[in-house]
Amino acid sequence: MNEDYLPLAYLNAREYCPRRFYLEYVLGEMSDNEHIILGRHIHRNINEEGTLQEGEMLIHQQQWVWSDRLKVAGIIDAVEECDGQLVPVEYKKGKMAQHLNDHFQLCAAALCIEERTGRSLPYGEIFYHTNRRRQTVAFTPQLRQMTEQAIVLAQLASQTIMPAPIDNTKKCLSCSLKEICLPFEVKQLRGSITPETND
C-alpha cells in the first residue's frame, strides 16, 4: 500500500478535531486512554480478516480498501454481501447520532470499494455499541462531495500550521491527547496575550 495515501481512520479524526488530527497524522503523537482501550476491546471479535456466512449473507471482515483516484486507503470493519449488493459496515463504541466524522470514514471506504469493484454502493451502516443499534448512512451526492472535500483538506494538513484548540470542552476532556494538546492551557495563554498597539 502506498505510504502517501491518507489512512481512512485519520479522515475520521480530522472531522472530529483538526488539532487532534494534526498531532496524530502530521506530528505522529499517540496516546491511549479508556476510550481508545474500550474501542479496541469492542473490535476484538471482528479484528480477524476472513469471510463468514450467515444464511444468504457473506460477511467479509477486515478488508483492505483503497482509491488511487482519491489517494486514501485503510481497513473497513466488514463488507456484507447479499443478493449482489455490497454494504460496508463500521463498528463504533459511542452512541448513535449524526456523527459526520463516522459518515465521512464510511463513505470514503465505500468510494474505495466502488473504484475497486465497479459496483455502486447506495448506503452503508454503522453499528454503535452503546445503543446496540445500526444506523443506515445513505451515500448521497452531497455526502460524497463533502467526503471528497474532507479528504483534500486532510491531505493538505502537512502544508499548514497546527490548528487552534476547538471550542468543545466535552471532546477535549475525553480526548486521549489532552495532555499533549493542552487545549485549556493554550486557550488561556492566547486569551491573556493582547496585541500590541502603536501610539
Gap between the Cα atoms of 100 and 13, Å rounded: 11
Is the pLDDT reported for residue 108 higher than 90?
A: yes
Gap between the Cα atoms of 12 and 17, Å rounded: 9
Q: Residue 79 in contact with residue 87, Cβ under 8 Å? A: yes
Is the pLDDT reported for residue 192 higher than 60?
A: no
- Mapping DSSP to helix (H, G, I), strand (E, B) and coil, where does residue 5 land? coil
Q: Supply φ then ψ for residue 85, to 5 degrees.
A: -100, 135
Q: Residue 102 in contact with residue 12, Cβ under 8 Å? A: yes
List the chain domain ranges.
6-165
**In this structure, which CATH number among 1.10.3720.10, 1.10.3470.10, 3.90.320.10, 3.40.50.2300 belongs to the domain 6-165?**
3.90.320.10
- Nearest Cα residue to 111 out of 60, 65, 149, 153: 65
pLDDT of residue 198: 45
Q: Residue 172 in contact with residue 19, Cβ under 8 Å? A: no
Ordered DSSP codes for 36-53: HHHHHHHGGGT-S-EEEE
**23-73 residue pLDDT tens:** 999 998 987 666 566 666 665 666 678 898 988 999 999 999 999 999 999
Say what percent of the chain tops pLDDT 70. 86
Q: Which residue has the higher pLDDT, 95 or 164?
A: 164
Gap between the Cα atoms of 174 and 178, Å rounded: 8
Is the pLDDT reported for residue 11 higher than 50?
A: yes
